[in-house]
Amino acid sequence: MPCQSNEELESILLEAKQYTSEGKVADYIPALSKANPDDLSVAIFHPDGTCYSAGCIQEKITLQSISKVITLALALMESGEEYVFSKVGYEPTGDPFNSIVKLEMSNPSKPLNPMINAGALAVTHMIKGNSVEERFRKIIDFVKRLSGNEEISYSAEVAKSEFETSHLNRALCFFMKQHGIINEDVEELLDLYTKQCSIEVNCLDLARIGIVFALNGKEPITNKQLMPAQVARICKTFMVTCGMYNASGEFAVRVGIPAKSGVAGGILGAVPNRFGIGISGPALDDKGNSVAGLKLLEILASKYELSMF
Ligand code: DON
């Protein structure tokens, strides 16, 4: 069933689009600076396969931090809760996503949660396999299953651009290696992590992934269990407490749904038992969240009473 353009959604998109001029595309990963700050698109995917969209849904972006919730699900499925949370904590930080400060201040020195860069690097480290290629194949295959899109691939250009400039993430890795949180070669871990962040999706793919979380791990239409309900529940909880970084509290008040953002401008939303939402809008606010995407979700949340709270 193709995703249908929807008039009501188009008018909400138009309203939110005015806010793109208040944001800036990310440029600390040089390849991301090529994105068009005016782009904005949205898709909403329902359990029966009905899909509504607005804007240019073909526009692709890289997952960036949205991949963190996917690798968390995979690590929980592979290694179990006890192991995962022996290496990474449960608590929000209130700091920017790439901050190193709490890593040194917490005792034992483990990342506070899996949604900040340090925690996500620790989680990616857990993905098992004999080589970076094998581990990356596992991650991208999982993204294909969750999105129902066999054509998903990654941008080698964005991966290389981040790999070559990722000094802060390298520092986080070395710090964690010193403290026994990770024990692999840092360059290999960064190779895998930058590739996972560079997986390309459009807003429809994000909405499809979102609905799997919304349906407690079940694929829409077929009802096939793609991840255990408990894994989906844990991921959604982190999306609420840390999914929008140090804007998660305000987002919970204004929108009130589990969501995860990325610096390429994507937002994945999971409205429990109702639908998945995917947004692509590369202009970001100062905390790294899509500025018009947030506005769009705010409008949707008040119009359709989406808040869980
Ligand atoms: O590690 C990084 O900095 C990026 N690959 C991902 C960061 C990100 O998406 C934060 N999002 N708002």
Beta bridge partners of 261: 267
Residues 262-289 pLDDT 10s:
999 999 999 999 999 999 999 999 999 9
Neighbours of 151 (CB within 10 A): 8
Q: What is the mean pLDDT of the chain?
A: 96
User: Has 193 been annotated as catalytic?
Assistant: yes
Confidence of residue 122 (pLDDT cuts 50, 70, 90): very high
The rounded radius of gyration (Å) of the Cα atoms in the chain is 18
d(CA 117, ligand 1 centre) in Å: 7
Query: 49 pLDDT exceeds 80?
Result: yes
Nearest to 13 by CA among 300, 266, 283: 300
Name the closest-CA residue to atom 1, ligand 1: 117
- Give the position, in ligand 1's atom list, of the atom nearest the Cα of 245: 12
Query: 98 pLDDT exceeds 70?
Result: yes
Nearest to 185 by CA among 132, 135, 120: 132
pLDDT score at 42 = 98
Query: 108 pLDDT exceeds 80?
Result: no
To test the pocket of ligand 1, the residue of 168, 263, 290, 294 to mutate (highest count of ligand atoms within 8 Å of its CB) is 263
Residues 220-278 pLDDT 10s:
999 999 999 999 999 999 999 999 988 999 999 999 999 999 999 999 999 999 999 99
Over pLDDT 90: what percentage of the chain?
92
To test the pocket of ligand 1, the residue of 197, 251, 294 to mutate (highest count of ligand atoms within 8 Å of its CB) is 197
Confidence of residue 94 (pLDDT cuts 50, 70, 90): confident
Beta bridge partners of 41: 280
**126-143 mean pLDDT:** 98
What is the C-alpha separation between 100 and 309, in angstroms, rounded? 32
Query: 93 pLDDT exceeds 90?
Result: no
Query: 146 pLDDT exceeds 90?
Result: yes
Per DSSP, the three-state class of 264 is coil
DSSP state of 233: H
Residue matched to tokens 């949707």:
300
* Cβ 284 under 6 angstroms from ligand 1: no
What is the C-alpha separation between 159 and 153, in angstroms, rounded? 12
What is the C-alpha separation between 251 and 249, in angstroms, rounded? 5
- For the chain, list the domains and their CATH numbers: 4-61+202-303 (3.40.710.10), 65-197 (1.10.1500.10)
Q: Which of 69, 240, 263, 271 is catalytic?
A: 263
d(CA 1, ligand 1 centre) in Å: 33
Confidence of residue 1 (pLDDT cuts 50, 70, 90): low
Residues 63-79 pLDDT 10s:
999 999 999 999 999 99
Q: Which amino acid is at 212?
A: V
The structure tokens listed for 33 are 């600076």
Over pLDDT 70: what percentage of the chain?
100
Name the closest-CA residue to atom 7, ligand 1: 65
* Cβ 196 under 6 angstroms from ligand 1: no
Q: Which of 25, 41, 52, 68 is catalytic?
A: 68
* Cβ 99 under 6 angstroms from ligand 1: no
278 neighbors 269 (Cβ within 8 angstroms) = yes
User: Has 218 been annotated as catalytic?
Assistant: no
User: Has 68 been annotated as catalytic?
Assistant: yes
User: Has 245 been annotated as catalytic?
Assistant: yes
Give CA 140 to chain center in angstroms: 14
- The whole-model pTM stands at 0.97
User: Has 177 been annotated as catalytic?
Assistant: no
190 neighbors 169 (Cβ within 8 angstroms) = yes
Neighbours of 175 (CB within 10 A): 17
User: In the chain, what is the straight-line distance between the N-terminal and C-terminal CA atoms, in Å?
Assistant: 32
The structure tokens listed for 13 are 């998109």
The CA-based diameter of the chain, rounded to the nearest angstrom, is 55
- Give the position, in ligand 1's atom list, of the atom nearest the Cα of 162: 5
